[in-house]
Structures are given as C-alpha cells and as structure tokens.
Amino acid sequence: MSALFNFQSLLLVILLLICTSTYTHYVFPSIMDRNRDGVLGIFWKCARIGERLSPYVSICCVLMAVSLFMGS
C-alpha cells in the first residue's frame, strides 16, 4: 500500500521530511536559505517547523516509533 493511502505512513513520511530538512539546514544553512521560494521552499519550511517545534516533533517521532514497534 502506498504512503498516500495509509494515514500512518503519510505521517511517517512527513515526520521524516521535517527531521531530514532540519538536519540539512543545520549542516548546510546557506543552501537551504537560498531556496526559500519555489518548490525547494518546502524543505526550508519543513526545516523551520523542525527548528521551532522540535520538542513536539521529537515526541511525535517517539510515538510513531512506538506505534510501529507495537504494530509489527
């Protein structure tokens, strides 16, 4: 089943996108800051979400890991 049709998988993809964008912005801030507009602006926005809401994103990652562990 595709991640678009499974809500839990869609949430996992969004969390991974936020976490990856935040880490990439931490390592390469100039590349991310240059691409604020357009299609690549999605990654910049995800990085901002990860930086500003990091405790909540961390809690969501832990809850998702626990739910995936319990589900399998």
Phi, psi torsion values for 17, nearest 5 degrees: -65, -45
Q: What is the pLDDT of residue 20?
A: 92
What residue numbers bound the domain in which 51 lies? 7-71
Query: How many folded domains does the chain comprise?
Result: 1
- 11 found inside a domain: yes
Query: The whole model's pTM is what?
Result: 0.81
Question: Any idea what DSSP says for residue 64?
Answer: H
Q: Does some domain include residue 1? A: no
Whole-number pLDDT of residue 72: 60
Per-residue pLDDT at 19: 93
pLDDT for residue 37: 84
What pLDDT is stored for residue 9 in this prediction? 83
Residue 19 located in a structural domain: yes
Residue 35, token pair as written in the block: 């691409």
The parts of the chain modelled with pLDDT lower than 70 are 1-4, 72
